Structure 1
């Protein structure tokens, strides 16, 4: 039969067990001890939060320092590039693009020549109808052919056309440079007028161009393009031709009279 033994209750605030059970006796937990423990725990928590805030601020400071150095570096590079651009000619970008385009064209011509193909035909195959129409309108707008307006203007247009056809001959340039020596770059004391002797190739080129001009004049009978922006001061084609001739010789004298008639202030 099992016997039950009742032990007396433990006092409040303390733990006490029989020494025969091998237990240790602990000190009682007072209110002051609890307050000190809570204060220590709160202090550790505050210190941890402060440490985290300090680390976050230091990390933010390092990021700002890195961004400042990066901005200083980029600003310096931009200043150097701007200084280079200011030292270049005003139309350097256009010249650079033009030179790159010419190099690409020369490369294409060489490739076509190696394959035995005609470069002009190959180039036309790559141009769409819209591009061709746009380039043609741009060409007419840039250099409109308004017909004969005066001998001086006709000669100037011919001069521009002939100079566009001239291509630099570097071999002839170097040969003349060696031949003339210091006189190649003339000064006020240089006397080289009348000493130039044209080459056979130059004479043949001039003769060929003159023959082309004669042939073109013989076939030149097309109708002049109509200018929508021009003032209408004629009643028929014959009157328009007469007005053009009169304007060419007396336009500067009748300009003020025309303006007064248009304003209605003519006397």
Structure 2
């Protein structure tokens, strides 16, 4: 068996001989460098794609918000209240149907779920819905009301009563055969009283104005009651011409 050489002995015990040739590691470094740069490039491209996706997502969300805001602006001012009212009606109809299918009285169940405070608030709202202006409801009610007011103003004149009783004698207690046409004469005081009453009715009629219920959902564009009435008159005469301009100002698209 041959003895090991000096170079083999030097390498086996960990000591590199002086005349040993240096090891070339360029092949190893050249093989790992392209791999690391490619990984960095792929990572950068991945981040770039993520940024593009986030930008597109933000753009779509902004466009969606703009469309929804424009849609809401075109809706009536009381749309939210109407929508809630419709949803409540649908929910109430479903509950009523379920109660009827179960053989229960829905109105009774509904009352049992209402608290005392809510019942009091509902009573106040119902009273507000009633017509506060009793100036006119039907012709029959108006006639009865006028008759009661006139009869309350009648004051009996006993002196005139006794005087007519003495003048007419037996004819004062008239029957079917008694003719009194043309014998009664009105006093000047009675005529003046009738004229004053007719004038007061005409004056009251000229000043009468139907009271309008306050709408909490209406747009507030006034600073006091006088300004509110003035704006209402302007809207009545010029609203059809200024509605588009007003909408453009609210949207910020006015020229």
Is the shorter-chain TM-score for this pair beyond 0.5, marking a shared fold? no
Shorter-chain TM-score category? Answer: 0.3 to 0.5
Using CA pairs under 8 Å that are at least 6 residues apart, name the structure with larger relative contact order, 1 or 2.
Answer: 2
Q: TM (normalized to structure 1)? A: 0.39
**TM-score between the two structures when normalised by the length of structure 2:** 0.40
